[in-house]
Structure 1
Amino acid sequence: MEISIILKYGLVLVAGVAAGFFNVVAGGGSLITVPAMIFLGLPPVMANGTNRIAILSQNITSVNSFRRKGYFDLKTGLILGATASAGAFLGSSIAVELPGEIFNRILSVVMILVLLFTLFSRKREGDSDRIVKVPLLAVAFFFVGIYGGFIQAGTGFIVIAVFSLISGTSLVRINSLKVFVVMIYTIPSLLVFILNGQVEWITGIFLAVGNSLGALFGTSFTISKGEKWIKIVLTVTVSAMAVKLFFF
């Protein structure tokens, strides 16, 4: 019995490290952690809620790391974070009422769509560090917040897409704002899950430690271009998990 518990939390820790790294460098870390917790026995909605502990911890770590490196836009981050938080509260309220089987089906479809976006999108490395069209971004981030509050998985890719379409900002600046905004909107989202009894704290703490470690590695790595192997790992892992979630 003890061995199985050690193995369970060991797997949660490893999944958290991988997820924290992926989330900072690009996105999609929750495509690993949420299905992993479901496979380890957590009900789908509780896995979704528990994941928010790790997301909050990971982004606090990453924001601090970006700030030390000189990438910290407080004003824009607070504006986008405020509208995203309103959306996240709405999205989380929907998520806690969703039957587990339906959540699994939705998650599996989202996983495949996000994977396709990851494989076929091109990041705009040469863009400016300037943030433009902030009011339009604020409106867009309300809808980003709804999605993030509801399912979270793949939010990083959506943030990159929104900035690419609206603001033409560099990848490093996008990632620094992404982790700040997600940190802010995760607070009301996590509260909704806590109030509805959909958080498993021990698993969440182990996951948070893993995500925070992964975020440290990811922040240091985020300005490099070595993401080819990440796409390979995500392709294999996400495809297998999506098929299992949808059909079994």
Structure 2
Amino acid sequence: MTWVDLLLVGLAGVWAGFINTVVGSGTLITFPVLLALGVPPVVANVSNTIGLAPGSFAGAWAMRPELRGQRSRILRLGPLSLAGGIIGAVLLLLLPASAFAAIVPVLIAIGCVLVLLQPALSRRVAARRERAGVGSGELRRGGAVALGAGVLGTGVYGGYFGAAQGVLLIGILGIGLDEPLPRINALKNVLAMLVNGVAGIVFIIVSDVDWPVAVAIGVGAVLGAQLGARVGRRLPPTVYRVVIVAVGVAAIVNLLR
């Protein structure tokens, strides 16, 4: 891979880090770029997960004010994200590459649909909060098991591929918790960081990694996360939503050729 290619990968990492901090779905930016540059799908996914992990940490760190008072929640849900990330990473390594090539287009399509439906999902979550009549931050009655299962399942998904993991988490946490969206988004960043981090550790130990690619994405993702934490909420979400879907569709076409 040339320096020009790595620069392109780094720029994709900046955009992915930005999007992951604000909403999620950064993988729909970096993964298709890696495929277009000729990186094999499984190696691309492994390297991408490792590269995005520092950006996830940077995004969570940058949103520390929104995390105040959520320590017990992180301690309760974090282990589920860690377990899910390990399971997903192991599934990626155990299943044949042909299975990944068959499954990923479906996952990308689901991710695109989730990105498109995210505004409607947010409106429904807000309406449920208004009707709930419980104190801010309280868990709705009977929702603890469902919330935990959702976080675990999203962790498995994130460890295996991860596109739109953030969107899934925002939807699950928004339904299960009575919190403002910024605090839900901050919690999402922490849980996604745990999934990406533990999956990245598994990949480093037992899988092939394209380290120049991973480093380029990592540097870009850290920069993008800082930008996302500062200015992401001021930008029209429609702009990056359209870009994500367009790139996702291009990835599906590229994989199915």
Q: TM-score, normalised by structure 2?
A: 0.86
More helix by share: 2
> Quick check: 1:71 aligned with 2:80?
no
Whole-Å separation in 1 of the counterparts to 2:192 and 2:66: 19
Unaligned 5+ segments in structure 2 are 130-134
Whole-Å separation in 2 of the counterparts to 1:146 and 1:130: 25
Q: Which residue of 1 aligns with 2:212?
A: 202
Whole-Å separation in 1 of the counterparts to 2:3 and 2:12: 14
Q: Which residue of 1 aligns with 2:137?
A: 130
Q: Which residue of 2 aligns with 1:94?
A: 91
* Larger deviation, residues 188-197 vs 208-217: 188-197
Structure 1, residues 200-243: CA drift from partner, whole Å, max 9, x if none?
A: 22211110011111111111234346101112212222111211
CA shift in 2, pair 1:5/1:185, >3 Å = same
Residue 117 of structure 1, CA deviation = 1.9
1:1-248 residue pairs with structure 2 within 5 A? Answer: 5-67=2-64, 69-72=65-68, 73-121=70-118, 122=120, 123-124=122-123, 130-133=137-140, 135-136=144-145, 137-224=147-234, 226-245=236-255, 247-248=256-257
Residue 140 of structure 1, CA deviation = 2.2
Whole-Å separation in 1 of the counterparts to 2:162 and 2:208: 15
Q: TM-score, normalised by structure 1?
A: 0.89
Output the aligned Cα RMSD. 2.1
Whole-Å separation in 1 of the counterparts to 2:169 and 2:154: 7
Contact 2:59 2:229 (C-alpha < 8 Å) held by counterparts: yes
CA shift in 2, pair 1:118/1:86, >3 Å = same
Contact 1:54 1:212 (C-alpha < 8 Å) held by counterparts: no
SS at match of 1:96: helix
AA aligned to 2:166 is G
Structure 1, residues 149-191: CA drift from partner, whole Å, max 9, x if none?
A: 1111110111011123322432211110011111123232112
Identity percentage of aligned residues: 28
Q: Number of aligned pairs?
A: 243
Whole-Å separation in 1 of the counterparts to 2:208 and 2:75: 27
Contact 1:65 1:219 (C-alpha < 8 Å) held by counterparts: yes
AA aligned to 2:97 is G
Structure 1, residues 40-78: CA drift from partner, whole Å, max 9, x if none?
A: 2222111111112222101111121111x3434222122
Unaligned 5+ segments in structure 1 are none
Whole-Å separation in 1 of the counterparts to 2:92 and 2:37: 20
Whole-Å separation in 2 of the counterparts to 1:157 and 1:15: 19
